Amino acid sequence: MKIAIAQINTIVGALRTNSDKSIQYINSAYEKGADIVLLPEATITGYMALDLLFNAEFIKDNIKELHRIKENIPKDIVAVIGFIDEENDKLYNSAAVMQRGKISGIVRKVKLPVYDVFNELRYYTAVSNTKPVNVNIKGKQVHLGVQICEDMWDETNNNVTSRLASEGADLILNISASPFQVGKKSVRERLVSKHAKENSIPFFYCNLIGGQDEVVFDGRSLAADTNGNLIHISPSFKEELSVIDLEMIDPLSTLTPSMQDQHEDIFNAIRLGIKDYIVKSGFDSAILGLSGGVDSSLVAVLAVEALGSENVTGISMPSRFSSEHSKSDAELLANNLNMNFKTLPIEDPHKSFLALLEDDFHGKSRNETEENLQARIRGNILMAFSNKFGYFPLATSNKTEMALGYATMYGDMAGGLAPISDVSKTKVYELCRYYNELKGEEIIPLSVLSKKPSAELSEAQYDPFDYDVVSPLVDELIENGSTKAQLLEKGYDEDTIDKIIFMIKKSEYKRRQAPPGIKITTKAFGIGRRMPLINHYNGI
């Protein structure tokens, strides 16, 4: 028996496009001799459609497409397709099993996630149990244990997988939309292996690929044999049709679980996130401010790798406080990347704002007001270029800055996407070094990586943080949810902990108005972290 895994890139709402692509992949799978083909969760609607699911026409249209697929695929292949089923005004996240122009069975999702970015109980009704779907493959009855994404993340006794096996399933087929997150690939491998081994059943896992809003689905579909050995791993971050012949497994060739390769994975996740967000939004080019600093340098690199150097424009917008090396570093980076580059000094609008405000601000001492003013002039220029030339504007804040509120709303926070807002300051440096190593040359000038971080918004200003302490501390608080007691035990200074917690809490309002980012960690700012704006608790 041959099983095909079609990890395709769907688009939320693109019912016809997603269905046409499904038909095309099912045909290819058939041509390659597959008996069964799996497509990802919510194949037809795309994932996550959120409140679009409340549109009754949308649900009807998704069911029409399901039937259109059924009628336009070869009769001799079994296709497992994700769609949204409806019955008595209730919605079910479902998989349809099709064969011979008919729907042989519909399986509904048992486990509906509501943690982090997920909110499925807002939309769907859970079912308490499922049964295998019987199909005929080359004259033999085969019982397919179909399940959907979270159903696999159930390790209780009597879990979804073991119940399907005990109901007589011959194979487990899981269709998923599991977002990328550092370290998650090993967890998925462990789960697929474990379920396969515990139930002595082959396990096939088809995961979505592509960027959708704040998440990137990494694909990396899997298969395991009845001993729990991994027998297949699809590539990450690209569409792929893989066909696995269950009769042809050489036990010696089974794969060992993945080693972590964080930098490559993070880089590729963000690259795909940028590309899909921009292209699916109808843009083909991007613009960003280049300060000569490490954050904008990394975003430039990622944008060039996502869109091509000819489609990315960097603007250096020096003020009276910008150092010579910042200007030259920005230009050198742009030249190294072969991207479009221009310089627009902000001195004139800067002067005119200061003059306009002079009377009212007379006698008040200089504070962050004058700094934010410059950042917002830059934001305005960036948006003007975006509006005039149709360039998609990219913001360059990193996660550590976003946590601390060390960023200007409507200034450097301006943009349609903030690609590195889930990347800590420490990781920003690591990714820059990773890229230079990958390319074997100093694409990002070494001076960018070695100079002291500065916003250059006033005389001799440097970032008021020791990032070696603060960057991991923010990660501890946000990603690990560490308590103060735990952090003290790890050796963090109490005053620093209190100050950082206070800063994170105080800047919640800024993050509320931030552009969407690309999630790469267990906890990104954005839809997966829903903190109150008014919050008088002495903690986060």
- CB closer to a copy of itself, 468 vs 489: 489
Closer residue to a copy of itself (CB): 215 or 244: 215
* C-alpha to C-alpha distance for 379 and 395, rounded to whole angstroms: 9
What's the CA gap between 163 and 155, in Å, rounded? 12
Quick one: 50 or 182, whose CB is closer to a copy of itself?
50
Calpha distance 396→418 (Å, rounded) = 6
Q: How far is the CB of 212 from a copy of itself (least distance, A)?
A: 6
Handedness of CA 433, 435, 438, 444 (dihedral sign): negative
What is the closest distance, in whole angstroms, from the C-beta atom of residue 120 to a copy of itself in the complex? 10
CB atoms < 10 A from the CB of 115, how many?
8
Number of H helices, E strands in the chain: 16, 18
Among all chains, which residue has been given the structure tokens 């082959």? 202
Residues found in the chain? 540
Measured from the CB atom, the residue of 439 and 506 that comes closer to a copy of itself is: 506
Token look-up 């979505």 returns 208
Going by their DSSP bridges, the two strands 133-137 and 102-108 should be labelled as unpaired
Pick 247 or 360: Cβ nearer a copy of itself: 360
Nearer to a copy of itself, 449 or 501 (CB): 501
Give the integer Cα–Cα distance in Å for 203 and 173.
6
Contact indicator for 7, 209 with CB cutoff of 8 Å: yes
* Minimum distance from residue 256 beta carbon to a copy of itself (Å): 34
Helix (H) or strand (E) holding 63: helix 56-71
The percent of the chain in helix, strand and coil, each rounded to the nearest 5, is: 40, 20, 40
Residues near 440 by Cβ (< 8 Å), separated by ≥ 6? none
In the structure encoding, which two tokens stand for residue 517, read together?
A: 């980012």
The least distance separating a copy of itself from the CB of residue 149, rounded to whole angstroms, comes to: 18
Q: In angstroms, what is the minimal distance from the CB of 387 to a copy of itself?
A: 4
End-to-end CA distance of the chain: 53
- Find the shortest distance in angstroms from Cβ 322 to a copy of itself: 15
According to DSSP, the β-strands at 286-289 and 392-393 are parallel
Report how far residue 505's alpha carbon sits from residue 520's, in angstroms, rounded to the nearest whole number. 22
The span from the CA of 157 to the CA of 154, in Å, is: 9
Q: How far is the CB of 218 from a copy of itself (least distance, A)?
A: 17
Nearer to a copy of itself, 338 or 352 (CB): 352
CB of 171 to a copy of itself, least distance (A): 32
β-partners of residue 93 are 84
- CA-to-CA distance for 260 and 262, rounded, in angstroms? 6
Q: Give the rounded distance of the alpha carbon of 248 from its chain centre.
A: 35
- Residue 508 CB-density burial (10 A; 0-12 exposed, 13-18 middle, 19+ buried): middle
**DSSP 3-state of 506:** helix
Q: Which residues contact 279 (CB under 8 A, 6 or more apart)?
A: none
**Separation of alpha carbons 461 and 454, rounded Å:** 6
- The token duo for 100 is 């011979």
Nearest approach, Cβ of 117 to a copy of itself (angstroms)? Answer: 11
* Residues designated catalytic: 41, 109, 149
Q: In the complex with a copy of itself, which residue's Cβ is closer, 153 or 361? A: 361
**CB 391 → a copy of itself: shortest distance, Å?**
12
Of 121 and 446, which CB lies nearer to a copy of itself in the complex structure? Answer: 121
382, 315 Cβ separation under 8 angstroms: yes
Nearer to a copy of itself, 2 or 519 (CB): 519
